[in-house]
Amino acid sequence: MNEVLKQFLLGYTETNDWGVVMPEILLALLALSLLVVEMFAPKAKHDLMPRIAIWGQVLIGAYTFTCISGCSLISGSYFSGMIQQTDVTQMMRGFFLLSSIFVCYLGHIYLSKQSLARTEFYHLVIIIAAAMMLLVQSSNFVMLFVALETVTVAFYVLVAYCRNSPFSLEGGLKYLILGALSSSILLFGIVLLYGVAGNPDLPGYTRDSLNFLELGRFIDVNTQAGGNLIVNIGALLVIAGVCFKIGAVPFQIWVPDVYQGAPTPVTAYLAVASKAAGFIVLIVLVQGPFAPLEDLLIPVLSVIAAATILFGNVAAVTQRNVKRLMGLSGIAHAGYLLIGVIAAMKGVDWAVYAVVFYLVTYLLASFAVFGVMAVVAGSDDANQELDDYADFSRKRPFLSGVLAVGLGSLAGIPPLGGFIGKLFLFVAAYQAGLFGLIGIAVLGVVISIYYYFGWVRECYFNASSPESVESDEASTSAENRFIFGLLALASVCVGLFPALLPIML
């Protein structure tokens, strides 16, 4: 008996390789070290925390890039099928590290105006980055749920981080309640799939029904045998739980309030990294265990994509609060990305890379916009309105230029990166025969130009009394100029030379 147990344990652990998750381990150690340094370092040295957090992640990013380039981290299955590494997941690890670095930088700008705990902010941001890196590599529902809840619980804290703001507390409460509801829906779907796939009375049953590969085989067998209602319901519930994370209709109700109430760096993190993680998980599911259910899922996701594009763009037209505007426009972008997911399900191989390309252009443009918002905002950034940007081009011409580039990329104006990202998605949709969704997406882009350029109009053309306007450009630090200028330049370069993107990733 002992020998049987020994052989079982050896077989179960033979695929364990801690080296493949070393970047995540290093991020966790960095996050913990921040707390240790704060405990023992003099209070006068606490200003070093953002630099430690940022440069620590830069070094970890360099290590990860070196390992990937040197084939130390190769694609494959590890930890008995808990983790599956692919080219896409390797690219997304760099994506989340880059997002975390930018959020820490924006956090430094934001926290300098607040009397809030600082070290804990950077700690949570880094923990979220590590959890999202594990999330997109998950190939087992246990791993997926644990990583997803680590991300979600940390975001509960960050959304309500500004405890002095009623908007932040309200946003945190709403995110907590609706996030718990979405997690319950997701978990219920997982339980249904686990139970039905482990039923020995059904064809193709498996003892490891939480594993994506085994579950996919079971679903394929039962789909060929005529389908299974419980499998369909379970898959739809899991997809519904993921749709909440990406802010797709009808699970988008939390987005405007949470985006407005959360601190601006946290809003940027939700808008970029959280959305990206949700889409990669969705791609893993629909191309993995749920691939045999394409006849069910493609119509459902098509309706969701169309409704998401229309709702996000139409609702943003009359919005004056810039954080709510970015939230509603983010809903529309989720709809565009869903078109890429559907194209991948229809057999367009490169559609996944089109989604990744779009996410990177969205990262560059969004952090440029949120960076400007973080600089402009006062101690209470929840009530930032379009009127606050009147005559902005004369007050801060450099920042207004960065803002215009970011908004232009989000709108899809050539030759910026956002235009190429949308073009790739539309070409993939065309090859997949999604002509109706292309029409709706083009209509959404046209509507979005109105509200994005409404913001630009406030900056450049709302000059009621130019004599009274004084330039405040000197207050923009050289560090901010470099970072925000780099983001704007990257958006232009990616638009002009899309082939640069693999190098950047």
Q: Over its length of 505 residues, how does the chain's per-residue pLDDT go in tens digits?
A: 466 555 545 555 666 777 788 889 999 999 999 888 888 877 756 678 888 889 999 999 888 877 766 555 566 777 777 888 888 888 898 899 999 999 999 998 888 887 777 888 999 999 999 999 999 998 889 999 999 999 999 999 999 888 888 888 888 888 899 888 889 999 999 999 988 888 787 777 777 788 888 888 888 888 777 778 888 999 999 999 999 889 898 888 888 889 988 899 999 999 999 999 999 999 999 988 898 888 889 999 999 999 999 999 999 998 888 999 999 999 999 999 999 999 999 888 889 999 999 999 999 999 999 999 988 877 777 788 888 888 887 888 888 889 999 999 999 888 898 899 999 999 999 998 889 999 999 999 999 999 998 888 888 887 655 555 555 554 567 888 889 999 999 999 988 888 776 644 4
User: Residues 6 or more apart from 490 whose CB is under 8 A from it?
Assistant: 364, 417, 504
In this prediction, residue 77 carries a pLDDT of: 75
* 5 located within any domain: no
Nearest to 497 by CA among 411, 415, 409, 426: 415
Q: Is the Cβ–Cβ distance between 31 and 150 less than 8 Å? A: no
Spatial distance between the Cα atoms of 268 and 255, rounded to a whole number of angstroms: 12
Residue-level pLDDT at 298: 92
Coil/strand/helix, residue 177: helix
103 domain residue, yes or no: yes
Q: What is the pLDDT of residue 442?
A: 93
Q: Residue 6 falls within a domain, yes or no?
A: no
In a domain, 3, yes or no: no
Rg for the chain (alpha carbons), in Å? 23
User: How many C-beta atoms lie closer than 10 Å to residue 191's C-beta?
Assistant: 13
Residue 42 domain boundaries? 15-504
Q: Does a structural domain hold residue 392?
A: yes
pLDDT given for residue 10 in this prediction: 55
Match 């970072």 to its residue by tokens. Answer: 483
Whole-number pLDDT of residue 410: 92
Distances (CA, A) of 454 to 3, 442, 460, 463: 72, 19, 10, 14
CA distance 67 to 74: 9
**Count: domains in the chain:** 1
9 in a structural domain: no
In the prediction, which pLDDT does 470 show?
53
The verdict on residue 10 lying in a domain is: no
10 Å CB burial of residue 47 (0-12, 13-18, 19+) is exposed
Asked if the structure places residue 7 within a domain, the reply is no
- Look-up: residue for tokens 């993190």? 269
Q: Any long-range contacts for 111-118 (C-beta under 8 Å, 24+ apart)?
A: 113/377, 113/378, 113/379, 114/162, 114/164, 114/379, 115/164, 116/161, 116/162, 116/163, 116/164, 118/46, 118/49, 118/50
Query: Which residues are CB-neighbours of 295 under 8 A, at least 6 positions away?
Result: none
Query: What φ, ψ does residue 78 adopt, rounded to 5°?
Result: -135, 165
